[in-house]
Amino acid sequence: MSTILAIDTSTSRTSVALVADGKVLFTKFHEDSLAHGEVLPKLVKEALAVNKDIDLVAVGMGPGPFTGLRVGISFAQSFALGLNINWIGVCSLDAMAARFNESEFIVSTDARRKERFWARYKDGKRVSDLAVSKASELEKLGIPIFNEGDYFPDPVLLADLALNNKSVEQPIYIRKPDAYPLPAGVKFRAMTALDLVLAAAIEKEVYGKAAWSSAQFKEEFAKAPKTAYYLAAEAEGELIAYAGIFFVADVADIHTITVVEKYRRKGVGRELLKRLIDWARVKKADAIMLEMRLGNDAARPLYEQNGFVEVSKRENYYGPGLTAVVMRKELK
């Protein structure tokens, strides 16, 4: 008798199944894209209460967001190592597609930033490379699409695929990296009063009507260094980014992280955020808050990857019709 523990954390859902010789002994899932690490051990514990004699671990290898994949894959590998048994990786999209009987179709999962991870299947077999594309581009293909939300990778089918397919040994993370090595020549330093005029100009170019004025910058900057911290990044002698944070009543609040377009997605914003978090820790803040414009899909993954969680929304925060998403990161 062969008993398989199957795990998938490639989507917003954490799924676990226990299958013995084709018989489903246990299957359960939890819906929360931010709770994979917390929920997975609990689901596995429930499965082991049914049968603790595991012969093989099967795990979904993606594609999917990096954080979710890391939770499931590292857990599966550690679990298998502890029991001295094998683990097998399976493409999560294959475990989602295995339920459908259509002659030709696409399955897709949420890649965030209004994009989808997807693959094309014909007569039950994958016939395209795994890819990431805008949802609107998939719709142009004119064939049925089964999306995450209505469907998810099935851990029971994942267990079956593990027995009949070659193992996927590496996580399937097909998106281009969120951050790159910092460009040569980028330097970080404390922001000075001389930077305020340039920062206000960049602010207006980036945020338009929602931009802070020079007067507002001066008012906030005056709090430094006692209760505020402002950073600047420069390249070739020009200001390319700035960031600020202030500290009130045990909570730090990020005022801004702004990078000029030429230097975005090159690690500059990530480095600024890291330094702001470090400052908040030195100040012994209990938490860090920030506001992000609703629809800023480029910035949100950066904050989520650094432990920020949405806690509320503020209507008209940046002006009429401009909503802010309030996020919080606990430090204690």
Domain annotation covers residue 309: yes
Supply the DSSP symbol for 194.
G
Domain annotation covers residue 172: no
The distance of Cα 305 from the centroid of its chain, to the nearest Å, equals 5
Instruction: Indicate the pLDDT class of residue 253, thresholds 50, 70 and 90.
Output: very high
pLDDT value for 321: 83
Classify 134 as helix, strand or coil: strand
Region of 145 (left: φ > 0; alpha: ψ -120 to 50; beta: rest) is beta
Q: Phi and psi of 49, rounded to 5°?
A: -70, -25
Average pLDDT over the chain, rounded to an integer:
90
Name residue 294's amino acid. Answer: L
Total domains in the chain come to 2
Domain identity same for 251 and 299: yes
CB 88 within 8 A of CB 155: no
pLDDT value for 26: 97
Give the tens place of pLDDT for each residue, 258-299. 999 999 888 899 999 999 999 999 889 999 999 988 877 778
CA separation for the pair 330, 9 (Å, rounded):
23
We report the CATH number of the domain holding residue 94 as 3.30.420.40
User: ∠ CA(195), CA(198), CA(202), 5° rounding?
Assistant: 130
CA separation for the pair 64, 122 (Å, rounded):
22
Give the tens place of pLDDT for each residue, 61-76. 999 988 889 999 999 9
Domain identity same for 9 and 152: yes
We report the CATH number of the domain holding residue 237 as 3.40.630.30
Instruction: Indicate the pLDDT class of residue 231, thresholds 50, 70 and 90.
Output: very high
Contact residues for 1 (Cβ-Cβ < 8 A; gap 6+): 20, 21
Domain annotation covers residue 180: no
Domain annotation covers residue 317: yes
Name residue 331's amino acid. Answer: L
Domain identity same for 147 and 205: no
Give the tens place of pLDDT for each residue, 127-154. 988 988 888 888 888 899 999 999 999 9
pLDDT value for 176: 59
Which residue, of 105, 129, 164, is where some domain finishes?
A: 164
pLDDT of residue 162 exceeding 90 = yes
Domain annotation covers residue 226: yes
Q: How far is CA 279 from CA 226, 229, 282, 300, in A?
A: 12, 8, 5, 21
Domain identity same for 160 and 260: no
Domain identity same for 15 and 74: yes
- Which residues face 117 on adjacent strands? 109, 132
Higher per-residue pLDDT: 71 or 305: 71
Name residue 162's amino acid. Answer: A
